Chain A
């Protein structure tokens, strides 16, 4: 890994004219070229990136003020709409899609003069935990090419570790930022639901989808969040941002009450992950935290809740891909109805079809109460348990996943087995609370992420504690 300097330092050098944005863009493009075998990137937006960099350098030369991310290259997961190329969500149905407008998060980053370089691979429509569901190719884990990078933001995490860019954007609906961060050794931050506008991001499950950064360190992730966070009229689910900047990371680990989630430390945890967690807990204690075991007995139910709620929302959100307005359209269809059926049959991969049909089933009359309503009621139970735990503790901790990165192909034939990869991440999404994956120690030379969870809207405090943990190494 060729590590980039801290984002704030890169931007400062560009602002002072000591570094040229154009050179940073070229460095990033070269890293993409040199790492092609990892399949992290679907497409580049090279022309636009060079144009924007040239314009930023010109402004610096002319003595004009430039933004706080001046010249900083980044990678966007390919479910973010970005100018300068196609946005496919790694799906065949969006393969021809030319982007007519740009995501609000990208607009905010560009307003601070960050530069989008390329689009990262993902499981098609973000449906998956390994990037093996991509309709393009499987991304390889940057630490071991025979293994998956985790998913669905696998291309984003891989890009950060390979040194393609100092940060990448991901989306997290059931663990899609945290899992690849853990499997690849990056920092991955999932904000409180609604903290970052999702306008211009391909929707998956709207009641849990969030946008967040993947980066090489917590400070960088905090800076990127700070630029993106806050209310946006184009996404009515957005919430107010913290009154302090998210870069104000002054909370200390000392005297914080931290609960270790008992249900995440049970059987099924790989021994290496367990010892990594034990080491992390020891470090937190040594830093002065009060660490105790806490039980949230309904958490193991979260995956079942998720695999009702998520497909239900997916079936609704993917209804728009009908072959009539954009995306793949079956030319040979003879009637409107045939055009819908054939376009969708040809354009959707197996996982999208699975989720659309499960979602359609659990929402259909006669099954709605038994599945969907029941799941949303168990969701309340999970939310209440988090609330109770946060009455007692400032933060909760546990592993991101029970294991390290698994082998490519190991789970792809069994969808349910793949779903189980998310068993320790989905509860957070069901409750809308923020969580981070921060590298702990390693297990047999593979990264292990420590998951730290905070109450809703305590994103800044969470980042501060994660930084405190990072500094303990």
Chain B
């Protein structure tokens, strides 16, 4: 389970939206496999009766009123880093 094939790496790269070079594919195949091998030690751990923990301080469903409040940044400030803007909107390449 911990040894990745070339196809596994290509699939992960695709899911991650990373276009890897030829050298990177082999490099990550080896490196990711060794990391996955290291974490295999958890397989042997007995966790009977235990639940997973996702939040450590016990907070649950922190809510607030749905109100618009002024903030440091204005819409124009947030758009100034965009590679392309069209009428106060992010402009992207066509989807369809």
Contact = CB atoms under 8 A, between A and B. Distances in A.
A269 interface: no
A237 interface: yes
Given A336-B95, A381-B47, A98 B81 contact: yes
A466 B55 CA distance: 27
| Dominant secondary structure at the A interface | helix
Q: Is the interface of B mostly helix, strand, loop or mixed?
A: loop
A354 B28 contact: yes
A315 B18 CA distance: 12
Interface in A330-387: 331, 333-342, 344-345, 348, 353-354, 356-358, 360-361, 364, 370-371, 373-381, 383-384
Contacts of A383: 53, 56
A373 B52 CA distance: 6
A416 B52 contact: no
Contacts of B77: 100-101
Interface in A168-201: 192-194
A114 to B, nearest CB: 17
Contacts of A419: 35, 38
Contacts of A100: 73, 77-78, 80-81
Nearest to B82: A325
B32 A357 contact: yes
A336 B52 contact: no
Interface string B54-96: 1111010010100000011100011011110000001011110
A378 B47 contact: yes
A253 to B, nearest CB: 27
Contacts of B62: 236-237
Interface in B1-57: 1, 4, 8-9, 12-13, 15-20, 24, 28, 31-32, 34-36, 38-39, 41-43, 45, 47, 50-57
A283 B82 CA distance: 57
Contacts of A380: 47, 50-53
Nearest to B20: A345
Contact of B73 (A101, A207, A338): A101
Contacts of A158: none
B54 A416 contact: no
Contacts of A141: none
B28 A353 contact: yes
B52 A379 contact: yes
A381 B15 contact: no
A314 to B, nearest CB: 11
A76 B8 CA distance: 39
B15 A378 contact: no
Interface residues of A, number: 71
B51 to A, nearest CB: 6
A373 B43 CA distance: 12
A375 B57 CA distance: 18
A97 interface: yes
Nearest to A94: B81
Given A102-B72, A336-B95, A378-B47, A239 B59 contact: yes
A327 interface: yes
Contact of B32 (A298, A304, A338, A361): A361
A322 interface: yes
A388 to B, nearest CB: 14
Nearest to A208: B56
A323 interface: yes
B76 to A, nearest CB: 9
Given A325-B81, A360-B15, A364-B15, A381 B32 contact: no
Contacts of B32: 354, 357-358, 361
A182 B13 CA distance: 36
A137 interface: no
A4 interface: no
Given A354-B32, A357-B32, A370 B1 contact: yes
Contact of B18 (A345, A370, A371): A345
Contacts of A193: 56-57
A432 interface: yes
Which one of A326, A335, A375 has the highest number of Cβ atoms from chain B below 10 Å of its Cβ? Answer: A326
A53 to B, nearest CB: 21
A374 B42 CA distance: 7
The 5 A-B pairs of least Cβ separation, nearest first, read: A432-B56, A376-B52, A326-B81, A329-B83, A101-B73
30 contacts: A100-B77, A100-B78, A100-B81, A193-B57, A207-B54, A233-B64, A236-B59, A237-B57, A237-B59, A301-B41, A304-B41, A305-B42, A307-B35, A324-B82, A326-B82, A329-B83, A335-B93, A339-B92, A340-B17, A344-B19, A348-B18, A353-B16, A353-B18, A353-B20, A361-B8, A361-B12, A377-B53, A380-B50, A381-B45, A419-B35
Given A341-B17, A342-B19, 4 more contacts: A301-B42, A301-B45, A307-B38, A381-B45
